[in-house]
Structure 1
């Protein structure tokens, strides 16, 4: 019996070893390298592989760091709230108002069409639309809604959030829609037979059963927004910054230890956010 169990254990380890090796090589080793480099010193001309807290002292001692991290978190939270509202609404409509499976698939694929192109192309496409002489301002002026072009439509927090929502809403729609499709329709019929209103059914039946999908979508959106840098750079006209841009600027100046320290702090922040979300609901049911 012991030999059989030992044989099974060895077989399990043998089957898991390729995945473990891949994770160690492409995930654990790079993260370990970033952590190590974050403690190195750097001058204008060279990197000194000597242990030092210099990068973290500078990072936490600068008020700019706190403003940039708050800006990053603000972008993430606003984008999360909007994408959750849109994603839940779209998924709810597809799952419960479209009866035909063919139409569900067709409409879902329709939602994915914009994602067949590059993120950068989709993001930059907003610039001529939101510009002073763009379609949005021209339409509003022709309708008599405004007398002069609105400057805040482009190169502002509004345009940054708009681009984020456009880029990442689908990451919220997919897991929520997948979870809603697994809900037993007899539960909805039972709630209706018990006299529950549509709102009561939504709050007491659909939302609780959709929590795993909401959490997965939230993790996708929050991590993607907090790690993004190119969207903030283009859509704010370089007038705003987030942690991703801070890291990008350090890399451009060849300050790799400083960039690594900022990346480590960002990684810890994202892991804390994910940890808090995972404590709210068990998403293993969805995996």
Structure 2
């Protein structure tokens, strides 16, 4: 099996939050600094510092003297069209193109770059702290070794989950891409409910935050399913059971999530169309 130290010809276009997180993960994971070129006209101070410390090549525009073996497109979707025009000279028939831009289908890239081995991904914001979930789809031109390399690079910021159909990316977007916002809102709701029960506002927020963080850590360290962990907390006739009677009712949380994720999935299709 290959490792990150064997990666060559890696070009990162865009070193913002997501691109910068991947770059940090690659450096920590052992990708050679000589193997990386970063193209970004205005990197953050943190990324500038990383580039200076590591000696990674940095350019404000695609250099004339390189060809990318692996091209990672990590720019905002609204500027992707302009960026694609500039990177055409650094790709060739053997370049693997990996997009981390939401709402851009592989057809979009093929229309502008031609036929290439391409991978479309949808990471989520916990990728910025190395705990992301990254949905990924590879077209038929991506070889097994190329997919393995992409998996290693994406795994630098989290858990990679491959789907068999590109259309599944919309559902992945609804579940994990947008999912962190649902969890943050859950914390807000729990804190507000605690405040209404008479708790100090700041205390209620600390309790809600700490509970969600702790529950996530417990689930991360357990082999049990989420449902089993829930049942472990729920004593018959107890306080948790009283709350779950409302949350798990026919008009409780599940139908709300069904509607919410359907709306997110629909919007993802609209943006991609």
TM-score (norm 2): 0.25
Whose strand proportion is higher, 1 or 2? 2
TM-score normalized with structure 1 length: 0.24
